[in-house]
Amino acid sequence: MSETLERKRVLSCIQPSGMLTLGNYLGALKNWVKMQDEFETTFAVADLHAITVRQEPAKLRSQIYSTYALMLALGLDPEKSTMFIQSHVPEHACLAWVLSCNTQFGEMARMTQFKDKSAKHADNINVGLFSYPVLMAADILLYKPDFVPVGADQKQHLEIARDIAIRFNRLYGDVFTVPDAYIPKTGARVMSLQDPEKKMSKSDDNLNSFVAILDDKDTVIRKFKRAITDSEGGIYVSEDKKGVSNLITIYSAVTGKTVPEVEKEFEGKGYGDFKLAVGEAVADELAPIRERYNKIISDKGELERLFRDGAERAERVARKTCFKAMKKVGFVV
């Protein structure tokens, strides 16, 4: 028991906005599974964040179920981790309001993702789209994590959460833990198969640019066969060979081989053989996940039991933090 209490806390959340990709898996989700044995872990489906962009209700509901089921299929264990759906814990929205009143307009206006998303969704530039980093701060601070796993595109959000926590603690006393970024050594940055200058994304209009975790073997191999390389030949990592370098990164991540080992394995071979080998390796890695997912998603009753239990566990922690913050501000609680 004392060993458990001494473990550092880690929290991470993922939006249910479409099917998760190979990039999500190799960049973050695969590491979440490993973290369970090292840290006290909390994972959430961040469904409140999804509605900053207009959603079709039935589709959103389905994606929330799918995302939670996929987290289980990947190997996240409800016995080891607290796993829940964000909207099932009302303290997230409650604390977000308290923190909003302790966050400056100028801080939100500088957030780069607001500018990017406003450009993409010019017909729906809503207040939630502007202020959602405060909700993200509430997501984090409620559970007092020591670390938050972040990629390069999320560092700014963690920084604003830290700034809000420090300001609140300075004004009202010690309430929140100020978390640090956790950047796993083994997390692979996976780029688009069609445009290796940009990150692989599930929102890409070109379906051949990403591999979904639940794609079947034929689809995975077909997408890798169509992956962009170059006309030079030679299978090695180079700044001038971004497409080939991306495929080497992916193959290395799923096989456990080092980059030099991969380069040696395919020395003298053509791109056709190489892309087929990468596709087969990825398909073999994802097949067991897809099988487990299909079994889990077919039992809605058990799935609901698990995320309801997870929400109860999460709320026990969140309620204490939220009430403490509210009492410090001056509310009668």
In a domain, 230, yes or no: yes
Cα 207 from Cα 127, distance rounded (Å): 31
Cα 42 from Cα 310, distance rounded (Å): 9
State yes or no: is 117 an active-site residue.
yes
Instruction: Read off the pTM.
Output: 0.90
Cβ atoms within 10 Å of 107's Cβ, excluding its own = 15
89 & 214 share domain: no
Largest CA distance in the chain: 73
Q: Report the pLDDT value the prediction gives residue 3, as an integer from 0 to 100.
A: 44
State yes or no: is 320 an active-site residue.
no
In a domain, 283, yes or no: yes
pLDDT digits (tens, 9 = 90+) for 131-174: 999 999 999 999 999 999 987 667 888 999 999 999 999 999 99
Cα 137 from Cα 10, distance rounded (Å): 14
Average pLDDT over residues 105-113: 83
128 & 269 share domain: no
> Is the confidence at residue 5, as pLDDT, over 60?
no
- Residue 246 sits in a domain whose CATH number is 1.10.240.10
Catalytic residue among 34, 80, 198, 199: 199
pLDDT digits (tens, 9 = 90+) for 218-255: 999 999 999 999 888 899 999 999 999 999 999 999 99
DSSP 221: H
53 & 115 share domain: yes
Contacting residues for 256 by C-beta, under 8 A, at least 6 apart: none
Catalytic residue among 117, 223, 241, 275: 117
Alpha helices in the chain (DSSP H): 2-6, 22-24, 30-35, 47-50, 57-74, 91-100, 105-109, 112-120, 127-141, 155-172, 217-225, 242-255, 259-265, 271-297, 300-329
pLDDT band at 187 (very low <50, low <70, confident <90, very high): low
Query: CA of 30: how far to CAs of 36, 75, 328, in Å?
Result: 11, 9, 39
State yes or no: is 115 an active-site residue.
no
Alpha helices in 173-241 (DSSP H): 217-225
Cα 250 from Cα 167, distance rounded (Å): 41
Q: Report the pLDDT value the prediction gives residue 185, as an integer from 0 to 100.
A: 67
239 & 265 share domain: yes
Query: What phi and psi values does residue 229 have, to the nearest 5 degrees?
Result: -125, -115
275 & 126 share domain: no
Residue 129 or residue 178, greater confidence = 178
Name the residue with tokens 């966050």.
103
248 & 166 share domain: no
Query: CA of 169: how far to CAs of 60, 159, 253, 270, in Å?
Result: 36, 15, 41, 59
C-alpha 104: how far from its chain's center? Answer: 26
> Is the confidence at residue 16, as pLDDT, over 60?
yes
Catalytic residue among 34, 80, 144, 202: 202
> Is the confidence at residue 288, as pLDDT, over 50?
yes
Count: domains in the chain: 2
Q: Report the pLDDT value the prediction gives residue 4, as an integer from 0 to 100.
A: 43
Q: Both tokens of residue 37?
A: 């044995």
Cβ atoms within 10 Å of 294's Cβ, excluding its own = 12
> Is the confidence at residue 186, as pLDDT, over 80?
no
314 & 282 share domain: no
Cα 227 from Cα 246, distance rounded (Å): 10
126 & 148 share domain: yes
Structural domain of 282: 207-294
DSSP 14: E
Q: Report the pLDDT value the prediction gives residue 217, as an integer from 0 to 100.
A: 96
pLDDT band at 50 (very low <50, low <70, confident <90, very high): very high
